[in-house]
Amino acid sequence: MLFRSCVACITGLFALSLVACSSNPPHSTLNRDAYLQQFIGQSSQYILTHLQLSQIGYQQLGTAQATPQLLHYRIIRPVRVPIPMAQHPTTGIGAVPLNIGIPSHESYDVALTCDLYFRLQQGIATAVYVSGQRC
């Protein structure tokens, strides 16, 4: 009976870890690309008024720059990077566990800078692309 309980517990934990590892981050590249693709075929005015970068985890720096051929946004993606800290030095040589919940005093914030471009033809977006540091 105890053996079955242990097997059920271990199986449950294993299944939970698989689900946790396979889940996508909330602002993945696929989500970003799908969100931005909906603006293809729209006017530059529509994009300027309806684009909500916060929905995909970005923040706009300054105002968008518009030319007849291009709509350019300078954006940042804030990222919190954990600082590895030894919580229990007696657990073994070289054991450095990472905290799951990252308090601000155990991490540092980084803002990755990127450029978002909409290529325009006659004021209508025909393509979108992002360039910059790992955005």
Q: Is 122 left (phi over 0), alpha (psi -120 to 50) or beta?
A: left
Query: Taking a C-beta distance cutoff of 8 angstroms, is the pair 62, 31 a contact?
Result: no
pLDDT in tens, 54-82: 999 999 999 999 999 999 999 998 888 88
Helix (H, G, I), strand (E, B) or coil at 118: strand
Domain that holds residue 38: 27-132
Q: Tell me, yes or no, whether 68 lies in a domain.
A: yes
User: For residue 77, which amino acid is it?
Assistant: R
**125 domain-assigned:** yes
Evaluate whether residue 17 is within a structural domain: no
Structural domain contains residue 19: no
Name which of 79, 77, 85, 78 is nearest 106 in CA terms: 85
The answer to whether the CB of 113 falls within 8 A of the CB of 131 is no
Classify residue 23 by its DSSP letter.
Answer: S
Domain count within the chain: 1
Cα 26 off chain centre by: 6
Per-residue pLDDT of the chain (135 residues; tens, 9 = 90+): 554 544 444 444 343 333 333 333 445 777 899 999 999 999 999 999 999 999 999 999 999 999 999 999 999 988 888 887 655 555 556 655 555 555 556 788 888 899 999 999 999 999 999 998 677
